[in-house]
Amino acid sequence: MAENQVPGQELDWLNDSVVVSDAEANQNVIVGKLPAVVQKVLGWGYGNSTWPLGFGIACCAIEMMAASCSKYDIARFGSEAVRMSPRQADLMIVAGTVNEKMAVVVRRLYDQMAEPKFVIAMGACASNGGPYWDTYNVVDGVHKVVPVDVYVPGCPPRPEALLQALMEIQEMLKTGKRGLITKG
């Protein structure tokens, strides 16, 4: 049964409307649905413990700190364990302006992170260069260096916006919109 499934549909199982036919019911229901169950459990686990890499670049990093402190408390979303080593981190929040000298470092840190890994481009600078887009030294958009999952607009974005981005990632994981292996 598992091989009949189109990858994107695996999680239709989660919808209430799925009707189990007699033929399916005759088979071993639990084993047949194992991939979906595994993905659901993994998505739940990774989604609720995406540990960010402790890595701030510019002004937006201050708002990132604000999000992890008491008022906004990123711990509510399971991301308070800021890892200083890329090898232990799941989530890279690029908070600030990436210039040509820094782009190399960002890519290197990204490569050192283990799968599954996610990238949030926080702020106008990381999204498209922001106020500095037409200068000689600024990379306009971190997507030129690493694949980005969620963009957060704002200069700087409010901490709530960052939390929303985090929830987007959790949503992606839980619904299977985004696999655990990064493509591209």
Partner 1 sequence: MEQAKELLVNMGPQHPSTHGVLRLMVKLDGETVTWCEPDIGYLHRCFEKLSEFKTYPQVIPFTDRTDYLAAITNELCFVEGTEKLFGDAIVVPERAQYIRVLLAEFQRICSHLLALGAMAMDIGAITPFLYAWRDREKMYSLFERITGGRMLYNYLRIGGVRNDLPAGILGTPTDGEDKADQTIWGFINYFDSYVWPQWEALVTDNRIFQWRTQDVGKLSAANAIAYGASGAVLRGSGVKFDLRKNLPNAIYDRFEFDIPVGKAGGDCFDRWIVRAEEMRQSSRIVKQALAWLAENPGETMGKVPRILKPPKGEIYHRIEGARGEVSCYIVSDGGTNPYKVKWRSPCFVHLQLMPLICPGQKIADVIAILGSIDIVLGEVDR
The token pair that represents 50 in the structure block: 């995406």
Q: Is 75 in the site for partner 1 (CB under 8 A)?
A: no
Contact indicator for 62, 68 with CB cutoff of 8 Å: no
Per-residue string for binding with partner 1, 108-147, x by CB under 8 A? -x---------------------xx--xxxx---------
**Which CB, 98 or 173, lies closer to ligand SF4?**
98
Question: Is 65 a residue that touches partner 1 (CB under 8 A)?
Answer: yes
Closest by CA position to 153, among listed 182, 109, 180, 120: 120
Question: In whole angstroms, what is the distance from residue 170 CA to residue 49 CA?
Answer: 9
Q: Of the ranges 22-30, 31-39, 150-158, 173-181, which one interacts with partner 1 (CB under 8 A)?
A: 150-158
Q: Which does 54 bind (CB under 5 to 8 A by kind): partner 1, ligand SF4, none?
A: partner 1
Question: 123 touches which of partner 1, ligand SF4, none (CB within 5 to 8 A by kind)?
Answer: ligand SF4
Q: What is the CB neighbour count within 10 angstroms for residue 97?
A: 25
Residue 34: contacted member of ligand SF4, partner 1, none (CB under 5 to 8 Å, by partner type)? none
* Interaction site with ligand SF4 (CB under 6 A): 58-60, 96-97, 123-125, 130-131, 155-156
3-state class (DSSP) for residue 113: coil
Torsion of CA 6, 7, 9, 14, to 10 degrees: 140
107 binds partner 1 (CB under 8 A): no
- Closer to ligand SF4 at the Cβ: 29 or 155? 155
How many residues in total does the chain contain?
184
Q: Kind and range of the H or E element at 118?
A: strand 118-122
**Could you identify the residue written with the tokens 């260096």?**
145
Nearer to partner 1, 71 or 183 (CB): 71
The single residue listed with the structure tokens 């591209």 is 184
